[in-house]
Amino acid sequence: MRSVNARFAAAVVVLAVFCGVAAASAMAVPTTLCTLAMEKCEVGKRLGPSEVKASTTQVVFTNSVTKITCTSSSLTSKTKVESAEPLTAEIAAAPLYGGCTTAGGAGCTIKAVNAPYSTPIAWREANTATLTLNNGGSGEPGINVECGFLIRCVFSGNIPYDFVGGGGAKLEVIAFKFTKLAGASCPAVAEITTVYGVTAPNPVYPAHT
């Protein structure tokens, strides 16, 4: 009986430890940007307020009318502190889009609207976080799309980018569906897919403190 009780007690201890670890990993923790790949960034390895600069050669807007592809885009998110939950940041100047055309080759003009944006960075797991485009006080983030008379529409939504750290860190979003479409000529649905390469800081790793 003692042997059974001892095994039961040991199992309870193991389960308690496991649950404690799981609960701790699920808790919100202060996010920081780190110069090395470490889950908990050491003092001296943490980046202070920084400009996260990113660019890409392909942005795809898929919608129910036509596919629009842009050959260039860039954005810069500025963190305000060394660490916070989430790490506070903002995009002061609207993201830029260039070389945009429909699947049929018609030219499109795409301009970001309602900047500046709040771009909080929230750590998720080792070397990864979510950077989300949020309302920075001027309205929900969005893009004004004009492709002749085919599309004249504003797509808006809080785009959540996967922030993956490394010596070539990236901001990635796959098939994010815009929540609002408004304008004279709008498709029924629209999505964005793109991968930005982070050019500075380099390297950079999302971590927690």
pLDDT greater than 50 at residue 67: yes
Here the tokens at position 171 are 């901001």
- What's the gap between Cα 207 and its chain centre? 15
pLDDT of residue 92: 86
What amino acid is encoded at 24 in this protein? A
pLDDT of residue 28: 82
For the chain, the structural domain boundaries read 29-208
Measured between alpha carbons, how far is 102 from 191 in angstroms, rounded to an integer? Answer: 14
* H or E segment and range at residue 142: strand 142-147
Beta carbons within 8 Å of 67's beta carbon, 6+ residues apart: 60, 61, 102, 103
Band of pLDDT at residue 3, cut at 50, 70 and 90: low
Measured between alpha carbons, how far is 98 from 57 in angstroms, rounded to an integer? Answer: 9
CB of 162 within 8 A of CB of 175?
A: no
pLDDT of residue 13: 40
What amino acid is encoded at 168 in this protein? G
Burial of 69 (0-12, 13-18, 19+ CB in 10 A): middle
* pLDDT, mean over the chain: 90
Of 62, 90, 73, nearest to 195 (Cα)? 73
Over residues 104-161, the pLDDT tens digits come to: 999 999 999 999 999 999 999 999 999 999 999 999 999 999 999 999 999 999 999 9
